[in-house]
């Protein structure tokens, strides 16, 4: 075989060298490499599973959020209706109180008007008496004596409050 250019020792050395390389590769390189790849594959599967769980939870949370929104809207509607009822009650109370105050003001105004009317009547009576006395004095000044004038004036003054005007 040497004539053909094949060296048996070299082939055996290469085979031993390949065998040693194969054993070293299998024990130190391929085992950890396949273990690493297996771990990576498991982690990727775990990530996919967690992503799926996360999507499910997200969908559940969205449903819960929608349900809570409906509950909040219903509670808000109830609160608004209750507030409207309370506002109507308060409005009725305020209107009733305003009516009472208005009636009290009207009564007070009537009383004040009556008092002013009486005061004006007294003033008018007084002025009428004064005018009458002045007319009598002017008209009878030339015809009566001073004593007669005094007596008539005195009589008019005494009789004026008794007269209904």
Find, among 126, 112, 120, 115, the residue nearest to 161 by Cα: 126
Residue 165: inside a domain:
no
Residue 102: inside a domain:
yes
Which distant-in-sequence residues (6+ apart) come within 8 Å of 1 by Cβ? 7, 8
Residue 35: inside a domain:
yes
Q: Which domain holds residue 84?
A: 8-159
Give the model confidence (pLDDT) of 77-89 as tens digits: 999 999 999 999 9
Residue 70: inside a domain:
yes
Q: Are 149 and 137 in contact (CB under 8 A)?
A: yes
Q: Number of C-alpha atoms within 13 angstroms, CB side, residue 144?
A: 14
Q: Collapse the DSSP code of 3 into the 3-class scheme (helix H, G, I; strand E, B; otherwise coil) and give the result.
A: coil
Residue 164: inside a domain:
no
Give the model confidence (pLDDT) of 71-130 as tens digits: 999 999 999 999 999 999 999 999 999 999 999 999 999 999 999 999 998 898 888 878
Backbone angles phi, psi at 15, to 5 degrees: -65, -45
Residue 75: inside a domain:
yes
Residue 1: inside a domain:
no
Total of domains in the chain? 1
Report pTM: 0.40
Residue 152: inside a domain:
yes
Count helices and strands in the chain by DSSP H and E runs: 3, 0
């Amino acid at each position: 075989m040497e004539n053909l250019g094949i060296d048996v020792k070299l082939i055996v050395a290469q085979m031993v060298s390949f065998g040693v390389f194969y054993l070293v590769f299998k024990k130190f390189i391929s085992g950890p490499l396949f273990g690493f790849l297996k771990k990576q594959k498991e982690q990727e599967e775990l990530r996919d599973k967690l992503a799926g769980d996360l999507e499910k939870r997200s969908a559940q949370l969205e449903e819960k959020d929608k349900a809570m929104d409906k509950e909040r809207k219903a509670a808000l509607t109830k609160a608004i209706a209750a507030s409207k009822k309370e506002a109507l009650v308060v409005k009725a109370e305020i209107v009733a109180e305003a009516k009472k105050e208005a009636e009290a003001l009207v009564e007070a105004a009537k009383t004040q008007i009556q008092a002013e009317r009486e005061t004006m009547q007294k003033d008018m009576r007084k002025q009428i008496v004064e005018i009458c006395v002045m007319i009598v004095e002017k008209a009878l000044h030339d015809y009566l004596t001073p004593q007669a004038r005094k007596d008539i004036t005195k009589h008019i003054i005494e009789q004026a409050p008794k007269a209904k005007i």
